[in-house]
Amino acid sequence: MTVPSVAVFGLNEFAVRFPSALLGILAIPIVFFLTRELLDNLPASRQIGLLSSFLLAISPWHIQFTRTAYETGSNAFFTGLGLLLFLKGLKNKWFLVGAGIVFGLQTYLYQASKVFVPMLLACLLVIFFRRVPWRQFIWLALPLGLLLIPVVITTLSPTGILRVQGTSIFQDPKPLERYGALVKTDWLRNDNKSVLLFHPKVLTYFQDILAGYLSHFRPDFFLVSNGDPKVTYVPQVGLMNLWVYPFFLAGFYFLFKRRDKTAAAVLVSWFLIAPIPAAVTIGLPNSVRSAVFLPDLQIIAAYGLFSLFPKLAGILKTALFLAAVYLFAFYVHMLFVHAPVASAQQWYYGYKQMVEQTLELQKDYKQVYVSTDLDQPQIFYLFYLKYDPQHYLNVDGGTKGGGFDEQGNRFANYYFRSLDFGQNRSNFDILFVGPPKEFPTTVKPIKILYDPDGQPFVYFVKPSLPT
C-alpha cells in the first residue's frame, strides 16, 4: 500500500504513514453503511450507524494504530468493507466478487488477518447459508481463492515459517517443562495409563492458549493501560473510552433482545473469534494482534448507547456528556504531551538521529556494529539511508527471519548483532552503536543520544584496549 504513496511523496515518514491514516479515515464512513446494512436499514439504523462511526473516530485503539503505519491498523477498513460487500452480495452476487477481493487483500496485511478472515467467513456462511443458494457463494470463493494462493505459499515457505515462529507460543519451553514434570510424577509411580489419559502431549499448550484467548476479554485489557506497551502506548488511557464500556456491555443485551438475531449472530461471532489469532502467540494480551476487534466493538457499543441512553435520567445524560468530553480531552492531552515522553522507546524515538549520527561518525571506521537490542534497527538504517532494496535483497541477502532479536542481518558495512563489546573492543576498524547496557560502565562514548526525559538510550563507542 505504501508504494504509490512513496512514489508521490518520496521516501519519508509521511509517505509511509499516509496510507494507514487514509484507510483509517475511510473506515469511519464504511462503518456507518455497514451498521445500516447489518440492521437491515431499519429507521433507527441511521442514528446507530452515525454513533458507530463516531465511536470509531474517537477510539484510542483506532487512532493509535492508524496514525503510525501499523499494518494491523488497516484491518478496520478491510473488515468493514469486506463485510459490507458480503451483506450486499446476499442480494446481488456481484458484490460478493468485491467481498472476495477485499477479504483476500486483507490477508496480506498482517499475520492475524490470515487466520481471522477465513474464520469470519466460515461464521458468515453458517449464519447465512439457508438464506442464499450455496452456488452464489462461488462468486465470493473464486477471487478469494486466487488471492489466497500466494499467501499460503509464502506462509508455508521457510521464510514464512520463521516469521511465525518469532512470536509463536509453541517456541516457549515453559509449557513443555510443566508437561514433563507432570509426566515424570506419573512415571515414578509406574502409572503410564494416567500419562496417556490425563496428560496427552497434544494438550501441552492448551491452558496457555486458553489463558491468552481469555485475556483479551478482561475489562482491564480494554480500559486500563497498565503501562504495558503491548496494550496501549498512551499512559493512563485504555483501548476503549471508559464511558463507552457500559454501553458496550448493554449492546449485547439489546442486540439479543431483537426479534431478528442476525446482527447479533454476526457481531458476537466476530467478537469471539477476534482474539483467536493472538491466542497462539506470546506476550498476551496484545492489542496489535487483536486489532481485528475493530470496528465490531464500536457497533455493539453504538447499539447499546442508542438503546440505553434515552432511558437515562436527565442529570445522568448531562453527566455522561461532560464525562465523555473530559475523558476525550484527557486522552488528547496524554497522547500529544505525555506519550511522546513516556513511550519514547516504544515509538522508536531518536532512531532517525541515530542513523544520521552514525553516518557522520562512520567515516573513520571500516565497519559499524549496531546492537539488535535496539529492536530491528536494520529497518531504520535501510529507510533513512534510502538503501537500494534490490541491492539489499540480491547482494546483501535480505533480512534474516525468525524472531525479533535477529542476528546476522547486514548491508554495506553495517552489521546488526549483539555487540560482544568485551570481545571486539580492541578491533579499531569497528564503530559500536547500542544501548548503554551493551557496554561496561567504565566506557566513555564519543556521542550519546538522550530520550525526551533525559535518559541516555544510544551510545556511540570507539574501540579501545581493555584496561
Q: Which of 405, 315, 413 is nearest to 361 (CA)?
A: 413
Whether residues 258 and 362 fall in one domain: no
Whether residues 335 and 196 fall in one domain: yes
Residues 171 and 286: their CA atoms lie apart, in Å, by: 17
In this prediction the pTM is 0.91
How are beta strands 409-411 and 414-417 bridged, if at all? antiparallel
The one-character DSSP state at 233 is S
Helix (H) or strand (E) holding 119: helix 111-128
The pair phi, psi for residue 358, each rounded to 5°, is -60, -45
Q: Are 414 and 403 in contact (CB under 8 A)?
A: no
Q: Mention every residue, 6+ apart, whose C-beta is less than 8 A from residue 291.
A: 61, 65, 70, 72, 73, 75, 76, 112
Whether residues 244 and 315 fall in one domain: yes
Domain annotation covers residue 467: no
Give pLDDT, residue 1.
79
DSSP string, 366-430: SEEEEEGGGTSHHHHHHHHHT--HHHHHHTS-----SSSS---EEETTEEEE---HHHHTT-TTE
Whether residues 92 and 220 fall in one domain: yes
Residues 79 and 292: their CA atoms lie apart, in Å, by: 8
Domain annotation covers residue 246: yes
Of 285, 307, 342, the residue that ends a domain is 342
Domain annotation covers residue 188: yes
Give pLDDT, residue 18.
94
Phi/psi-derived region of residue 454, left when phi > 0, alpha when psi is between -120 and 50, beta in every other case:
left
Whether residues 51 and 153 fall in one domain: yes
pLDDT in tens, the chain (467 residues): 788 999 999 999 999 999 999 999 999 999 999 999 999 867 899 999 999 999 999 999 999 889 888 888 899 999 999 999 999 999 999 999 999 999 999 999 888 999 999 999 999 999 998 888 888 899 999 999 999 999 999 888 877 777 777 788 888 888 888 888 888 887 888 888 887 888 887 788 899 999 999 999 999 999 987 656 656 788 889 999 999 999 999 999 999 998 889 999 999 999 999 999 999 998 889 999 999 999 999 999 999 999 999 999 999 999 999 999 999 999 999 999 998 898 888 888 999 999 999 999 998 899 999 999 998 899 999 999 999 999 998 888 887 755 554 677 899 999 998 888 888 888 888 999 999 999 998 899 999 999 998 999 999 999 886 65
Whether residues 303 and 363 fall in one domain: no
Whether residues 393 and 324 fall in one domain: no
Domain count along the chain: 2
Whether residues 259 and 385 fall in one domain: no
Domain of 218? 2-342
